[in-house]
Every structure is written in structure tokens, then in C-alpha cells.
Structure 1
Amino acid sequence: MSSTAVTTAMKLELPPLSLYIHIPWCVQKCPYCDFNSHGQNGELPQEAYVDALLEDLRQDLHLVQGRQIHTIFIGGGTPSLFDALQIKRILDGANSLIPFSDNIEITMEANPGTLEHDDFSAYRAAGVTRLSIGVQSFSKDKLNLLGRIHDQNEAQVAAQKASQAGYLSFNLDLMHGLPNQSFAEAMADIDTAAALNPPHLSWYQLTIEPNTLFHSKPPQLPDDEALWHIYEQGQQKLAALGYEQYEISAYAKPGYQCRHNLNYWQFGDYLGIGCGAHGKVTLPKENRIIRTVKIKHPKGYLSASNYTFESIEVAEEDRALEYLMNRLRLMTPIPKQEFELRTGQHRDTLTEGMEKAKQRGLLTESAEHWQLTSKGHMFVNDLLTQFC
């Protein structure tokens, strides 16, 4: 981290605490997916896995440090492969170990092809307040290319049922830049999604990740010019439809931002339980920030007595860059005081890099904030190089 002479270090403050719960099974592995997910092979060990999750959480209780849980995200894999009774066991068990805030946000991922739609109300009764539905596209051709098990009609029915089941909010996941996708097809997906009136949309470009089928057998993707046209026009369309972009790939109606993801990007703390789950925890009394990684494979996880595979210290000299790598995803100004409280570093640590970024037109500065310009949002990775 390049810097000018730095004044005294600041005191770390305990940030808000979230909980991430990983359920690793899917009906089948999608060719673009690099998450820790495993194709379902026979009946799932739902009860045994929930028992392991709760024991995993018990072993992390020393990291709570007197806080409540403000948000929970149940991700995967496909959590909706677990029935509502087991989701309720997870949430009730977690609440018995750590108090929940009064207005807690509890999100669960669901895929249209794995839901009996009458169960939406059951998940809501189990305690889930928000659904994130993995639609990806409303095109039959594109869904087939992506290896999705649902069709366009199931995707629309899932969104309609989520809207009717009393959830406080729901999200639709959409991808663009799909194999052989035209501009018209990408815009049609946005129009179809918006007609279902989700309070939140995740709209992000398909990327080819290592260790995926698409990486070994790459599909034909739109060229860079076509991708930029889709992105630029898609942003304008979403804004015209009343969706505010608050994060690089997240758009919400006013008041419906995902609080769980906001805590991630603001360098908050989160416990991660389940196969391969990651966590990040601040320890102010020890002036430390650590990241935890749990056992990755389901078989090993289910037979474990200690679920933490690795605990990694975030070195003091790396905290500022790690904070920025998260915080720069958001569209809002960066409070200088937040930087100090979340990293234990004085704001002057960033002076040299911020000056270089200002000279290149990537950000502006006030007494209390840094703010990315439109150009800065387009070149975030370039901006981060100023702090390496």
C-alpha cells in the first residue's frame, strides 16, 4: 500500500454482524458455475446437515462478541432443495444461539425448477423474509445453453408466487452477455423481469471462470462492443423502469436494497457456516481482522468435529486495499470515518493513491468523503492499482 507519512493508527470498531449459511447441493452443476456446489446424488442428508450447521455455528460463538445478527443469507448450491421444516430448524437454532435484530433480513436463494410453488408460503412461515430467485434468462434457448433445469414459464410463475406469498422483498437474478445473445434478447429479458415487478434485480455479465465446463469448452460470447452496448442500454432501461443501481450488479426500487450485501461491501463482519463457507470477523481487542474458511466437501464436513479448515489473518498493511476492493463496488460516497473504523488505518494512509486517482478524474473528494466519478465506476480495477 503506497502512502505518504501516516499518522497514528486508529482503533478498530466492531461492525454489524451478518450470517451466511451455505447449502452445497444442486440438482445438477451448471456449466458456468464456480461456486462450491455439488450435484444431487440420491436423497439429501437434510437433518444431518442441519445438525452440522448448528454445531458449526456453536463453534463460532466466540466471534460474535455480544452482537446481534442483522442479516442472514442462505445460499448455495440450491437451498430450496431443503424443505421448509429444515430451513426453520436452521433459523430457530441460530436464533437460540445468537439474538436476531428486530427487523432482521433473511434471504434464501431458490431456483424455479426446484420449487413446488405452494411451498413459498412455507418458507415464509419458517422465517425467510426475502427470496432471491435464480432466473438467469427468460429465453428457452439461453436457459438450455446455461444448463438450467427450469423453463421460461416456471421462472415467471416463481416470481408471481414470490410476490403473492407475503415476502418483504424478492430478487430476480439475470445474466447478460450470454452465448450468442443479441442486444434484443438481452433487453427482452429485462422487460420480462420488470413486468413481474420484483423490488430488486441482480443483472450481471456472464464471465468464464476457471474450473468450470465453460472454461474447458468456451461458448461463443458477444464481442466487447456488443457487450458494452448491452450494458450501457440496459442500465438506462433499468433506470427508466425505476431501478436504482446501488452496486456494480445490483438494482433496486427505493427502500429495497439488499442489506446483507451492503454489509459485505461496507466491510462489515459475517460468520460463514456450511461447506466451504467463508467468514470475516473483526477482533478489536486484539487489533486483528480474520477470515475463516470451512471444510469444503460435504462428506468431510458431515463427518467433522471441527468445521474450520483455515483461519487467515488480514495483515494490517493489506486492510486498506481489502476495504477498497469491497467498498468500491457501491455507488455511494465512501465515508472517511467508515474507512478508519473498519480498517484501523488513518485516512491519510490513502492520500497518495487518492491524489493520483483525482488527477486521472476517477474520483472527487470532500472533507468527509471520497466519491467515484462516472469514469471511476467504469475503471474500478484501474483505480485499485493506485493503492497496490
Structure 2
Amino acid sequence: TPFAARARAGGLAPTNDSSAAALYETTQEVMEKVGMYAYEISSHANKGAESRHNLTYWRYEDYAGIGPGAHGRLTLACGSTAENLVGITSGMTLHKKSFWNRAKTALHRIPAPGAWLAAVEKTGHGTCEETPLDGDQVVTEMLLMGLRLSAGVERALFHGITGQTLPEALDLERLNPLISRGFLELDEAGLRATAQGQQRLDGVLAALLG
């Protein structure tokens, strides 16, 4: 991203780990005092007022990126292409077939507004890239997104999207040490990061996913 490129070039002064951890802890304390809990690692809300928009992509459900440069993830029937996405992205009528007849697809819209608009007027959509994701990619993306949530990755939702159970999809030799060290929890509800794990989530995810 431009942010990462600037950081590598020395154009930004990133906060050191100790200062970042202290700021994170202070943020949690302040927000909890006013009744706004962290439903996601960087999102706070009163109970029942969580952003449905945010939860859609943190839960790795389907979302359609529409405007210039937008990204989306849609579950499409095998063989669907950008040419027949117009009705899907306008009316949000997604395919409801069984998992094995569906594929999670990454969509990217044309970044330049003028070129995007010209494509929409000509073809009805501004899609420039359409990439079917394989099973490993879907599992990885769902864990990257879902472990940011305080509720974590729900077992039923994970199975519905990936076609696998959590134990089937995870490398237990990587998972078990993270549980033993108090960074992750796995129970009947699903897999989630503890408070310690959320504060170190980049490292936890690297250790879990390799």
C-alpha cells in the first residue's frame, strides 16, 4: 500500500511496540468506561450498535465493491463471470447453491474514475480483475479477518464458507502452542484471540498461518 511504501522509504515514523501497546491498552480502558466495547480490534460500539457493514467483511461474508478501485468478495456459482455480475451487484441476489457448486471470488474495480465510468457505461460494470480463490486462500483470508473480532471465527460460519471444520483446516502443531501460551481460545463456539492475542495479533497470525 502507499502507507507501507512510505514507511519503508522512511517517510513515516512508526510507533515502537511499547508505545503502541500502551496506546492500545489506554484506548480499551477509555472506551470501556463509556460503555463502548471493542467488537473488533480497532472498532468500538455500544452493544447492539455494531456496524453491520464492518461485520460483513470481518466475518468474511459476501460484499460487493462497486466504485473505482473497490475490492469485493462474492460467492458465485461456478462459471459466473464479471459479465453476469451486473444483476448480482445491483440487486445483491447471490447464488444459494451448495458449497461445492460455489466459489469465493475476489473482485477488483478499475482504479481510475474516468476509466471506471467508461467501462460501466460500456459493459455495465467496472471490474478489471476477477480471481477465484482456492480453499487454502479462503481459509487464510477468513482467519485473517475473523480473528480481529472479539467473537472470533464462529464454527458454523467457518464450515459454511470453507466447507471444512476448524480442526480440519488448522495446523494443530501451530495452533496448540498458541492456545497453551494464552493467545488463542478454541471452544464449541469457535476460535478467537484472547486480549493478549489481540494485542499481538500480527505475530499470532504469522505463527498460526506460517
Q: Following the alignment from structure 2 to structure 1, what is the Cα–Cα distance between the partners of residues 202 and 66?
A: 30
When the two structures are aligned, how many residues end up with a matched partner? Answer: 181
Q: Confirm or deny that 1:260 pairs with 2:79.
A: no
- Structure 1 partner of 2:81: none
Shift of 1:252: 0.8
- Structure 2 partner of 1:227: 20
Report the CA distance shift for 1:220/1:317 in structure 2 as closer, same or farther (over 3 A): closer
- Structure 2 partner of 1:218: 11
Shift of 1:308: 1.1
Report the CA distance shift for 1:223/1:279 in structure 2 as closer, same or farther (over 3 A): closer
Larger strand proportion of the pair: 1
Aligned to 2:48, what secondary structure does the other structure show?
A: coil
Contact 2:63 2:72 in 1 (8 A): yes
Greater shift in the superposed pair: 227-236 or 328-337: 227-236
Runs (5+) with no aligned partner, structure 1: 1-32, 35-207
Q: Following the alignment from structure 1 to structure 2, what is the Cα–Cα distance between the partners of residues 273 and 380?
A: 30
RMSD: 2.3
- Structure 1 partner of 2:185: 364
Q: Aligned letter for 1:374? A: A
Report the CA distance shift for 1:349/1:333 in structure 2 as closer, same or farther (over 3 A): same
Q: Aligned letter for 2:74? A: V
Runs (5+) with no aligned partner, structure 2: 77-98
Q: Following the alignment from structure 1 to structure 2, what is the Cα–Cα distance between the partners of residues 219 and 278?
A: 26
Shift of 1:270: 0.8
Q: Following the alignment from structure 1 to structure 2, what is the Cα–Cα distance between the partners of residues 311 and 268?
A: 17
Q: Following the alignment from structure 1 to structure 2, what is the Cα–Cα distance between the partners of residues 245 and 330?
A: 8
Q: Confirm or deny that 1:374 pairs with 2:185.
A: no
Contact 1:292 1:312 in 2 (8 A): yes
- Structure 1 partner of 2:75: 282
Contact 2:106 2:133 in 1 (8 A): yes
Q: Following the alignment from structure 1 to structure 2, what is the Cα–Cα distance between the partners of residues 278 and 311?
A: 10
Greater shift in the superposed pair: 369-378 or 222-231: 222-231
Q: Following the alignment from structure 1 to structure 2, what is the Cα–Cα distance between the partners of residues 342 and 336?
A: 10
TM-score scaled by length of structure 1: 0.43
Bigger Cα Rg: 1
Q: Following the alignment from structure 1 to structure 2, what is the Cα–Cα distance between the partners of residues 381 and 219?
A: 20
Q: Following the alignment from structure 2 to structure 1, what is the Cα–Cα distance between the partners of residues 203 and 17?
A: 18
- Structure 1 partner of 2:164: 345
Report the CA distance shift for 1:267/1:384 in structure 2 as closer, same or farther (over 3 A): same
Contact 1:321 1:384 in 2 (8 A): no
Aligned to 2:65, what secondary structure does the other structure show?
A: strand
Report the CA distance shift for 1:356/1:272 in structure 2 as closer, same or farther (over 3 A): same
TM-score scaled by length of structure 2: 0.76
Identity among equivalent positions (%) equals 28
Q: Aligned letter for 1:291? A: A
